[in-house]
Amino acid sequence: MTVVNYRKADVNGFNIFYREAGTERAPKLLLLHGFPSSSHMFRDLIPLLADRFHIIAPDLPGFGQSDMPARDKFAYTFDNIADVIDRFTDKVGFDRYAVYVFDYGAPTGFRLAVRHPERITAIISQNGNAYEEGLSDGWNPIRAYWLEPSAANREALRAMLEPEATIWQYTHGVADAGRVSPDGYGLDNFYLARPGADEVQLDLFGDYKSNVALYPAFQDYFRTHKPPFLAVWGKHDPFFLPPGAEAFKRDIPDAVVRFFDTGHFALETHATEIAAAIRDFLR
| Cross-strand bridge partners of residue 4 | 21
Give Cα 213 to chain centroid, integer Å: 18
The answer for residues whose C-beta is within 8 angstroms of residue 269's C-beta and 6 or more apart is 174, 176, 179, 180, 260, 262
| Cross-strand bridge partners of residue 257 | 231
3-state class of 116 per DSSP? coil
For the question of residue 225 being annotated catalytic, the response is no
The answer for residues whose C-beta is within 8 angstroms of residue 25's C-beta and 6 or more apart is 54
Catalytic residue among 40, 54, 236, 264: 264
Pairwise CA distance, residues 73 & 273, whole Å: 42
3-state class of 182 per DSSP? helix
CB-based contact 21:4 (threshold 8 Å)? yes
CB-based contact 62:34 (threshold 8 Å)? no
Helices (H), 161-214: 163-171, 182-192, 197-213
Q: State the catalytic residues.
A: 264
